Structure 1
């Protein structure tokens, strides 16, 4: 592929720009500390980020995005309304080659069948349907050729009442639009990153190439980006995806206790091959300790007062205790296992969550022990780096709590970077 030809990208649910940073890189002579390489000739030409209910105080991610990528670089409006305005001819959205985005794991069920005049209709507020509308809104001649999406790993087995149904609906929609699909559940720590963050990545493309489904698991773009041990032929399962997402809603794996979708897979023409995979990574491995800042840079409020350590120890510890539901008075036994306290700095960190900020004791916040024996929480610059953003990326005037929230919602930027490089390589071939 000629490096002169740009792959024009639309970034949906953009947050603070994780996909853009991973694919396009970052270069600003005024901020050399943020310098990051590009994965290839990607150029983000349109982006959307919106935090409901839309009060100005909620839009800190969009303000960070604009601070880093320039004024007007993101549309800070409800994507559903933006697409409705486009359909009415009230707004322009540029043609793009690729759509990227991380969207919530929700109930994707379809309200009515494809055969009805209005087409398929998903539940209101479910953001998958905005992605679907974006992909088809300009017709097949101007449809994006590539799609790269991120979601939680449980997407492959949701909902509990019909395992795998939601992912089958998404695959059915992509198949209906003519896409062939690869997916992988990637634990970033298994490929050298400093955080154990397991997420599902979905790469769809319009292609005239006929795939050997079983072989594509080992030889496709995802395997190029994140090498695996070649699975045995007998370990690969095959699944058929309904042509109609409504049929998937009603009948896919009905009564099944286990999802048919495993950690890697491909789909073409509604036929799926899927299997469990084992990483085959040889390279440097980073840890939580690698991203820690100097203690001289840590504000005093991040250190835990000795008299409050007991609360932290209780929340982090194992429990088996009687509790009472405050509304119903029902008594039940609550049990949970212990968590590491403090967190090990010589291993990759646990997954960071949106509630990482704030001084209050929490089971899920990270706590490290420093050389003098004191305990402290992680500062925002460390959270930025655990997601492989440049240190200080979210330091754009928002509060520390908002910085932590943004990183809890973000992705490890190295993952789309590697997928982007592998995609560009495949296009060249």
Structure 2
């Protein structure tokens, strides 16, 4: 039986990809990573697997198609330990847009996205709200109307995917600390119209 093929963006040291390989019995076909130190680790553990580099410069139509696309897009602007600038224009966390474009072009059967607890509460913007406040008035409150997790789930839905998400602490998997992460598993709907707008 042929293994599912995996592509990973924002690969880092390869931890998420390693987990996806194990859970899906998949094989890493390619990855995208531009940090030299992370790339050195990836080359050591996955020799011969191509690195497509900076995900914002990739022609997604030219990469090998994969069954699964995974990625943990940058968390700095979502994290409670960071600036909390959110998933908005000009932030590192808005690199989700490049992952979304990869999904829209490649159309993998599965998408796995990982991020920090702050994805539940960090602000986000999207083409869903075409002008500030159009979806409602926060009555001067400080809470955002659209949050990062909602943005990712909405984009996945627009692209033809159904998704489930869970928050998992590292201690749930036996680690001696409670580092919390949000995971989304999205499955492409059969025959869904693909929409890359927004």
Contact 2:29 2:50 in 1 (8 A): no
Uncovered stretches (5+) of structure 1, i.e. residues with no partner: 25-37, 52-58, 110-121, 209-242, 247-429
Could you report, residue by residue, the CA deviation over 1:395-420 in whole angstroms, capped at 9, with x for unpaired residues? xxxxxxxxxxxxxxxxxxxxxxxxxx
Could you report, residue by residue, the CA deviation over 1:216-247 in whole angstroms, capped at 9, with x for unpaired residues? xxxxxxxxxxxxxxxxxxxxxxxxxxx9x96x
Aligned in 2, Cα 1:174/1:40: closer, same or farther, shift over 3 Å? closer
Q: What value does the CA root-mean-square deviation take over the aligned residues?
A: 2.6
Could you report, residue by residue, the CA deviation over 1:123-146 in whole angstroms, capped at 9, with x for unpaired residues? 4752100110001124xxxx1010
Distance in 2 (CA, whole Å) between partners of 1:94 and 1:190 is 35
Aligned length: 166
Distance in 1 (CA, whole Å) between partners of 2:11 and 2:111 is 14
Alignment partner, residue 72 of structure 2: 102
Distance in 2 (CA, whole Å) between partners of 1:188 and 1:18 is 13
Distance in 1 (CA, whole Å) between partners of 2:186 and 2:153 is 10
TM-score of the superposed pair, with normalisation by structure 1: 0.36
Q: How does 1:218-229 map to 2 (within 5 A)?
A: none
Match of 2:99 among 117, 131, 140: 131
Distance in 2 (CA, whole Å) between partners of 1:204 and 1:123 is 26
State the Cα distance separating 1:76 from its structure 2 match.
5.6
Distance in 1 (CA, whole Å) between partners of 2:171 and 2:91 is 36
Aligned in 2, Cα 1:100/1:204: closer, same or farther, shift over 3 Å? same
Greater Cα radius of gyration, structure 1 or 2: 1
Distance in 2 (CA, whole Å) between partners of 1:170 and 1:149 is 9
Q: How does 1:387-402 map to 2 (within 5 A)?
A: none
**Is it true that 1:153 corresponds to 2:120 in the alignment?**
no
Q: How does 1:230-241 map to 2 (within 5 A)?
A: none
- Greater strand content: 2
TM-score of the superposed pair, with normalisation by structure 2: 0.73
Secondary structure in 1 matching 2:11: coil
Q: How does 1:14-413 map to 2 (within 5 A)?
A: 14-24=11-21, 38-51=22-35, 59-71=36-48, 73-75=49-51, 77-83=53-59, 86=60, 92-105=62-75, 106=77, 107-109=86-88, 123=90, 126-138=94-106, 143-159=107-123, 161-162=143-144, 164-207=146-189
State the Cα distance separating 1:162 from its structure 2 match.
0.4
Distance in 2 (CA, whole Å) between partners of 1:81 and 1:69 is 22
Secondary structure in 2 matching 1:169: helix
Distance in 1 (CA, whole Å) between partners of 2:34 and 2:11 is 8
Distance in 2 (CA, whole Å) between partners of 1:188 and 1:164 is 27
Could you report, residue by residue, the CA deviation over 1:142-192 in whole angstroms, capped at 9, with x for unpaired residues? x10101111001101113640552222212111111111100111121342
Distance in 2 (CA, whole Å) between partners of 1:42 and 1:13 is 18
